[in-house]
Amino acid sequence: MKILHLPVAYLPWTIGGREVYCHRLCQNLQLLGADVQVAIHQDVSGREPLGNHHHEGVPVCVLPPISDHGDRVASVSRTTNHPIGFREVLAEYQPNIVHFHDSCSSAGITHMRLSKEAGCKVVMTYHSPGQSCLQSALLYHGKQVCDGKISGYRCTECRLSYAGLPSPVARFVALGSPPWIDPASPGKINHVLTARKMTELHHSAWLEIIELVDALHVHAAWVKDIVLLNGADPQKVHFLRPGGPNPVSHLVQLKSHSDFLNIVFVGRCIDIKGIHILIAAVKLLPKELPIKVTFFGPYWESKNYGRNLLQQIKGDVRFELKHNLPNTQIVETLANYDVCVVPSIWLETGPLTVLEAFAAGVPVIGSRLGGIVELVRDEVDGILFEPGNAHELANIFTRLARNRELIEKLKMNIKPPKKMTSFAKDMLSLYQDLQK
């Protein structure tokens, strides 16, 4: 069986949970005897060299960038007029399955249509809220978790208010778009006035996607609820939790004998990951409390968010920023810490970090939200706190720093997650069922 994976980006050029997940899945499918290939369109920045490559044994084909990448209508409609090179990949590789890991102009409806025309079965994994939410985070006005129902008025009003438009104006504009204004027209005023049209275009694109796919794979129960709420065929929806890396040996796991509470964060430096909440919580603590936080992950210096955080922790010996961890070193590195903090402020579909921490035998301190709350058992193998509540998180840190026995109790209750090999078997069975 041949499976073509179509993410938006891939390792080693882009590092994130989606890319790591896709790579681990490909590697484990190979171990099961499947023939896998990854294809991506080059980013407009040119960060990926064109042509055929291999990353840790996985073949990766980098196609030319799509020319309408930044086009507003193409982005919202998940289409492109120039899927350059994709037809040729389908003709040459002749996959049985095309597995999409996003729904955007460079890996979306146009590519799905071409895949179906080539006789392939189409699978899509829902990796992030942005696949159904045009605001991208499923946070109403950027603050309150949304139920996920796509609504012409509410979704438009939410996006406009979040973008800074005064609420009365946002509510008025969300009522409808003037029919004589083309959504492709340039200018901020035209973009505002056609916001409702864009929401409707987004909704139409979502409906076509759930019609085109033969299987819609979800990682979490909350995702299943949302895709069903938005019209997905229950027969197409497959809830399969991803597997984690192999657990470390008990000989590798360290007891909490350090004088400090050693905390670790692993992930991209972006606002939705809630790193600012973690830093704020530590800043609330007295400096004499023995605590240290180590950050692993990319993008600290490439975005304003990261640069602002660097200024906040500058000169504070309680914080240490290290390099990004290679995929093969994550679990053994995590095993050196007391707890792993996952302070996300959006709905995580996994997250892989929780599975990696549990594979390392490390308790998770996480937001009581989305996929985190589905994986972490509060006061059993981790501790949950209200999303965004730095004071509650600070209290948890104080409690752990003064009660080393609690850390050991949480560690003893951790159950190693399902292995990625087992998950790959589930996915392979799904692929095979689609071929029947």
pTM of the model: 0.93
Strand 58-63 and strand 51-55: pairing? antiparallel
Same domain, 79 and 23: yes
Q: What pLDDT does residue 293 have?
A: 97
Name residue, tokens 């990696």: 356
Section 263-284 average pLDDT: 96
| Count of the separate structural domains present in the chain | 3
Q: Is the pLDDT of residue 254 over 60?
A: no
Same domain, 106 and 67: yes
Q: What pLDDT does residue 250 have?
A: 55
Q: How far apart are CA 13 and CA 11, in angstroms?
A: 5
Same domain, 188 and 121: no
Q: Is the pLDDT of residue 154 over 70?
A: yes
Helix runs in 34-106, H state only? 72-77, 86-93
CA distance to 35, 214, 330, per residue, from 433 (Å): 17, 11, 34
Same domain, 322 and 408: yes
Q: Is the pLDDT of residue 371 over 80?
A: yes
Q: What's the DSSP call for residue 320?
A: E
249 in any annotated domain: no
CA distance to 72, 73, 88, 99, 432, per residue, from 80 (Å): 11, 9, 16, 18, 30
Same domain, 120 and 181: no
Q: Are 65 and 42 in contact (CB under 8 A)?
A: yes
Q: Are 77 and 55 in contact (CB under 8 A)?
A: no
Q: Could you report the per-residue pLDDT of 76-119, keeping only the tens digit for each?
A: 999 999 999 999 999 999 999 999 999 999 999 999 999 999 99
pLDDT band at 24; cut points 50, 70, 90: very high
Section 7-30 average pLDDT: 95
Domain range enclosing 156: 139-200
Same domain, 229 and 184: no
Q: What pLDDT does residue 249 have?
A: 67
Section 131-158 average pLDDT: 94
155 in any annotated domain: yes
In terms of Cα–Cα distance, which of 220, 221, 253 is closest to 414? 253
Same domain, 373 and 268: yes
Section 288-315 average pLDDT: 94
Q: How far apart are CA 12 and CA 72, in angstroms?
A: 28
Section 405-421 average pLDDT: 94
Same domain, 234 and 90: yes
Same domain, 274 and 399: yes
Q: What pLDDT does residue 327 have?
A: 79
Q: How far apart are CA 202 and CA 133, in angstroms?
A: 9
Q: How far apart are CA 371 and CA 67, in angstroms?
A: 35
Helix pair 275-283, 304-313: axis angle to 10 deg: 20
Q: How far apart are CA 177 and CA 192, in angstroms?
A: 9
Residue 331, domain CATH: 3.40.50.2000
Which carries the bigger pLDDT value, residue 365 or residue 253? 365
